[in-house]
Amino acid sequence: MPRTGPRWLIFAAVAALPALVILVPLGSFLAMSLAHAEKHQIIYDWTLRNYASFLGNWTYLSTFLGTLWLCLEVVLLSLIVGYPIAWYIWRQKSWKRYALLQIAALPLFMSYIVKLYTLRSMLGLNGLVNQALVSLGILEQPSQVFLYNQRAVLITMTVIYLPYVVLPIFLSLERIPRSLLHASTDLGAGGWDTFRRVVLPLSVPGTIAGALFAFVLALGDFITPQMVGGTTGFTIGRVIFSQFGLAFDWPFGAAMAAILLLVALLLIVTAGYAASRRRV
Amino acid sequence: MLRTRGDRIAEYAAGGLTALVLLVLYAPILVSAVFSVVEIRRGEILWETFTFRHYVTLWSNASVTDALVNTAIVATCSAGIAVALAVLLALYTEWPGAIARTALTLLIYLPFLLPPIVTGLALLVASANAGLDRGLFTIVIGHTIFVLAVAYRLVLTRLQALPPTLIEASFDLGASRWQTLRYVLLPHLASSILTGALLALTLSFDETLISSFVAGNEMTLPLRLWAMMRVGFTPEINALVTLVLLVSIALALAAASLLRPKGEPEED
């Protein structure tokens, strides 16, 4: 092994580019959150006033809390829908299982904007959802409740981020040794008992990972709320994005994004810890 | 596995749910494919309007073809750089003499784990500080750091599966470091490099959130489509979207077939 000198040189050579394109931007954005904007000039005066004005302004704070709540709803809804799907795929045999898995994973690679566009037209006044409900007699006439509100954001985000939830759950189900299931059946457990006492606890790590993916992705999304949320579907992502456009208050936007970053990091660390504790 | 009646009922229910959800997930490609060949008015398909001509005329729409070319350039550059960087970083972090391995690994995964809005904004601030004009170059940087984690993970997994005896044998047979890299390591890593590149291409092709911060006046295809969403899609755009979705699916399927384990899965 080379002496310490060359080892540092090699490290510097390898790490220089990643540091330049990842670490430096993150650092400069955090520094920006401590500056303030004055007449289109950014003045670095290392102040916490952006954070203070965020926490002291109920409009911003309630939007932030509302976004966290929305993300939680997205997570819950996608677990309720995604878990049975992952379980169903896992119950299939050999080729059918992998074919279904691929079919469920492929939408991950389909255009995000096109998904938004399609969902928006499906939820609209003349959309598929309304037509189906009217022809089934559930609604008397097409309703506008499915689009341009918080509910529309919830439905759309759930559909878009669902594959991110299904995949990790499936992967953790797949890791359960068949012998455990046989043992459980041999010991007299019925299907439900085996599921509740063996399958469900062992799939917790994947479920946490899926929930985390959905939460973090929904947290930073600003295009979905803008496209289907209308005026009531405001999220913190939209507020941040607007600071870099019309509002032109970069330091304030950076401070709000830093809070978002903090929440995301806390969640990633907590979820990582929880998942590692559950590993058998 | 023993299947009780309850199991079977649960399975039918879950199967029905899966079918319904898959239908919704695949609606985008179905809808754009249908709208690209026929006109639909008041929920009725007008079969007499059936035509493939939109697949030809779309190529004369410069705003769309320019965006498509930009996207292709960005995807190729960022996939290429990301994969090369991933190989270098994987070789380094697996090297016994590596320093700050954990910190470096964290750095690689960070842009993939963080909300894209943070990555995009950070790059925007950094490029403004550096006096860099926003454009294709900044988009390439954004996409590269976003897809790096995926490429790195794939190459690293493959590298860790390589028996160390193979490298020892290569050295024992008198190969230099360079020859070992060229004739032993790289051929072994080739499939993971290809898979990584394909996944990187697909991800970059669709990346919207980071791009929206760093694109400046340049347009990538997703950004162009986003702008067009406000006015609604024409049949030409639907034709283009159908083609794009088919290409993305083909790329992803190619990557998946490379990733699939060779052995038979466990059966009961």
Q: A124: domain CATH number? A: 1.10.3720.10
Which residues are paired to B40 by β-bridges?
Answer: B45
- For residue A44, CA distances in Å to A36, B119, B128 come to 7, 21, 14
Structural domain includes residue A200: yes
pLDDT category at A3 given cuts 50, 70, 90 is low
What's the whole-model pTM score? 0.88
- Stretch B7-17: mean pLDDT, rounded? 90
C-alpha to C-alpha distance for A182 and B3, rounded to whole angstroms = 11
Cβ contacts of B250 on chain A, cutoff 8 Å: none
Q: What count of other Cβ atoms lies within 10 Å of the Cβ of residue B181?
A: 16
Query: Within a domain: residue A226?
Result: yes
Q: Which of B260, B199, B23 is nearest to A162 (CA)?
A: B23
- Domains defined for chain B, CATH in brackets: 5-49 (no CATH), 61-259 (1.10.3720.10)
For residue B111, the distance in angstroms to the closest alpha carbon of chain A comes to 7
pLDDT at A89 over 90: yes
Domain coverage including residue A132 = 58-278
Q: How far is CA A233 from CA A107, A147, B77, in A?
A: 25, 10, 36
- Residue A8 belongs to a domain: no
Q: Is the dihedral of CA A83, A88, A93, A97 positive or negative?
A: negative
pLDDT in tens, B203-234: 999 999 999 999 988 999 999 989 888 777 78
Q: Per residue in A239-268, pLDDT tens?
A: 999 888 777 789 999 999 999 999 999 998
Residues of B in contact with A85 (CB under 8 A): 14, 17-18, 21
- Measured between alpha carbons, how far is residue A255 from residues A70, A236, B127 in Å? 21, 12, 18
pLDDT tens, residue by residue, B79-101: 999 999 999 999 999 888 888 88
Please report, as a single letter, which amino acid is at residue B39.
E
Q: B4 contacts in A (CB within 8 Å)?
A: 190-191
How close is the nearest chain A Cα to the Cα of B52, in Å?
Answer: 20
In chain A, the number of structural domains is 1
Quick one: three-class SS letters along chain A? CCCHHHHHHHHHHHHHHHHHHHHHHHHHHHHHCCCEEECCEEECCCCCHHHHHHHCCHHHHHHHHHHHHHHHHHHHHHHHHHHHHHHHHHHCCHHHHHHHHHHHHHHHHCCHHHHHHHHHHHHCCCCHHHHHHHHCCCCCCCCCCCCCCHHHHHHHHHHHHHHHHHHHHHHHHHCCCHHHHHHHHHCCCCHHHHHHHHHHHHCHHHHHHHHHHHHHHHHHCCHHHHHHCCCCCCCHHHHHHHHCCCCCCHHHHHHHHHHHHHHHHHHHHHHHHHHHHHCC
Confidence label for B69 from pLDDT (cuts 50, 70 and 90)? very high
Q: Is residue A49 part of a domain?
A: no
Residues 31-70 of A with CB under 8 A from B: 32
Task: Report the gap between the CA of A75 and the closest CA in chain B (Å).
Answer: 15
Question: In angstroms, rounded to a whole number, what is the distance separating the alpha carbons of residues A271 and A266?
Answer: 8
Identity of the residue in A18, A110, A163 whose CB atom sits nearest the CB atom of B28 = A110
Residues across chain A: 280
ipTM for the whole predicted complex goes beyond 0.90: no
C-alpha A23/C-alpha A190 separation (Å) is 53
Out of A11, A115, A220, name the one closest to residue B100 (CB): A11
Contact flag B229-A217 (C-beta cutoff 8 Å) = no
